[in-house]
Amino acid sequence: MSTVINLDNVTFRRNGKDIIHGASLCIGRGEHWAMLGPNGAGKSTILGFCAAESFPTSGTVEVLGNRLGRVDMAALRRNIGHVNPRHRLHSPLTVTQVVLTGITGTIDLPMYWEPAPQQLERAAAEVELLGLGSISDEIWPTLSQGERGRALIARALIAEPELLLLDEPSTGLDVAAREQLLGTLDDLNHARPGLTSILVTHHLEELPESTTHAVLISDGLIPAAGPVHEVLNTENISRAFHHPIQVEHREGRWSARAVRERSYLH
């Protein structure tokens, strides 16, 4: 299996402060990773390397076989789908138009640009894949947060990326919308077996059943990384989050709860 992401002894320093301390990570093609850790642990920094958006202070980062610092970053990013629920779109584009911006790599549709017939067909196919066919003509301001999230995934997929990055895709979703999104991701992971994905979250409950691997980020370090069932356990999660947390896996889904001593009121 070929390597999609390789971090080798990476450090990152900002304003004289080390954010990442000697991190190493290897992600193979077709794997579906979860990246977990507390706020401020360094998840966004490592995701920035994977997205070819930033450089390490020291060490090496290779994305899709290209070493950062020796490759055209803009060209490399065309092979990476980056889904951010904080998408800045304010224009009244339809779902289909939002998906088409994945071809142009812009927030809004460029002036005077017209999609080719085959591009419209691809957009329609991605909209259907993400379960948005019935609302393909609805405009962005009227969409629910869950519908927006699925539209952004379709937007990322239309460019046929080799790597899909999902940055806290369940942010702002209610339980029903979250479950619908996770089901969609499971379907996607089975439909696109060659696609590699990394999903960033704080919550084990937000992991799709199709997750194959996990990496924990804590205090700028990677205390555990590998097959999901080896990484997501009570000991590793408690150490990463600096709190006793009981981890359970049942019927394909993960859950976590704090371990507290029983108290009594007198």
CA gap 99, 110 in Å, rounded: 13
Question: Encoding tokens for residue 128?
Answer: 């259907």
User: Quick one: which H or E segment has residue 145?
Assistant: helix 145-157
Largest CA distance in the chain: 74
Contact (Cβ atoms closer than 8 angstroms) between residue 159 and residue 76: no
- Answer whether residue 190 shows pLDDT above 80: yes
In terms of DSSP bridges, do strands 3-14 and 58-63 run parallel, antiparallel, or are they unpaired?
antiparallel
Q: For 73-95, what is each residue's pLDDT tens digit? A: 989 999 999 998 777 787 899 99
- 106: pLDDT confidence band, cut at 50, 70 and 90? confident
- Answer whether residue 22 shows pLDDT above 90: yes
Contact (Cβ atoms closer than 8 angstroms) between residue 204 and residue 237: yes
> Which domains, ranges and CATH numbers included, belong to the chain?
1-79+162-266 (3.40.50.300), 88-160 (no CATH)
- Reduced to 3 states, what is the DSSP secondary structure of residue 165? strand
Residue 1 confidence (pLDDT): 62
Q: For 36-48, what is each residue's pLDDT tens digit? A: 999 989 999 999 9
pTM of the model: 0.91
